[in-house]
Amino acid sequence: MFNGLNLSLGNLSRLSHAKSRSISPENFKGEKGKGGMATEGTGSFCARDLGQGWKISPSVKIAPGQVFELADIEGPGAIQQIWMTPTGNWRFSIIRFYWDDEETPSIEAPVGDFFGMGWCQYAHLNSLPVCVNPGSAFNCYWEMPFRKKCRITFENIADDEMVLYYQINYTLTEVPEDAAYFHAQFRRSNPLPYKEDYTLLDGVRGWGHYVGTCMAWGVNNAGWWGEGEIKFFMDGDDRWATIVGTGTEDYFCGSYNFDRQGKYTEFSTAYAGLHQVIRPDGTYNSQQRFGMYRWHIMDPIRFESDLRVTIQALGWRSGKRYLPLQDDIASTVFWYQAEPHAPFPKLPNREYLEVM
In three-state secondary structure terms, 139 is strand
Q: Where are the domains of the chain?
A: 19-177, 180-345
* Phi and psi based region of residue 177 (left: phi greater than 0; alpha: psi -120 to 50; beta: remaining): alpha
Sequential pLDDT tens for the chain (356 residues): 456 677 777 788 999 999 999 999 999 999 999 999 999 999 999 999 999 999 999 999 999 999 999 999 999 999 999 999 999 999 999 999 999 999 999 999 999 999 999 999 999 999 999 999 999 999 999 999 999 999 999 999 999 999 999 999 999 999 999 999 999 999 999 999 999 999 999 999 999 999 999 999 999 998 999 999 999 999 999 999 999 999 999 999 999 999 999 999 999 999 999 999 999 876 666 789 999 999 999 999 999 999 999 999 999 999 999 999 999 999 999 999 999 999 999 999 999 999 98
List the CATH code of the domain at 180-345. 2.60.120.1390
HSE, CB side, 13 Å, CA atoms: give it for residue 30. 22
- C-alpha 272/C-alpha 275 separation (Å) is 9
* H and E: helices and strands count for the chain: 3, 27
Chain centroid, CA 173 distance in Å: 25
pLDDT, position 283: 67
Residue 49 is predicted with a pLDDT of 95
Distance CA 213, CA 295 (A): 6
In angstroms, rounded to a whole number, what is the distance separating the alpha carbons of residues 38 and 53? 7
Quick check: do 19-177 and 180-345 share a fold? Answer: yes
Q: What angle do CA 219, 129, 232 make, to 5 degrees?
A: 55
Sheet strand arrangement including 243-244: 198-205, 306-311, 230-234, 243-244
Computed on alpha carbons and rounded to an integer, the radius of gyration of the chain in Å comes to 21
The 10 Å Cβ neighbour count of residue 96 is 19
Residue 327 · residue 157 · CB < 8 Å: no
DSSP 154-184: EEE-SSS-EEEEEEEEEEE----TTPPEEEE
Q: Tell me what pLDDT residue 285 has.
A: 65
Per-residue model confidence (pLDDT) at position 1:
42
Contact call for residues 188 and 103 (beta carbons, < 8 A): no
- Top CATH class, 19-177: mainly beta
What residues does 323 pair with on adjacent strands? 315
Question: Are residues 257 and 226 in contact, defined by beta-carbon separation less than 8 angstroms?
Answer: yes
Instruction: Report pLDDT for 284.
Output: 67
* 272: Cβ contacts below 8 Å, ≥ 6 apart: 127, 252, 253, 254, 292, 293, 294, 295
Look at residue 231 and give its three-state secondary structure.
Answer: strand
240: three-class secondary structure by DSSP: coil
Q: 97 has which bridge partners?
A: 107, 152
Q: Kind and range of the H or E element at 71?
A: strand 67-74
Q: Which residues pair with 102 in a beta bridge?
A: none
Q: How far is CA 335 from CA 212, 266, 317, in A?
A: 7, 26, 36
Q: What angle do CA 263, 266, 270 make, to 5 degrees?
A: 150
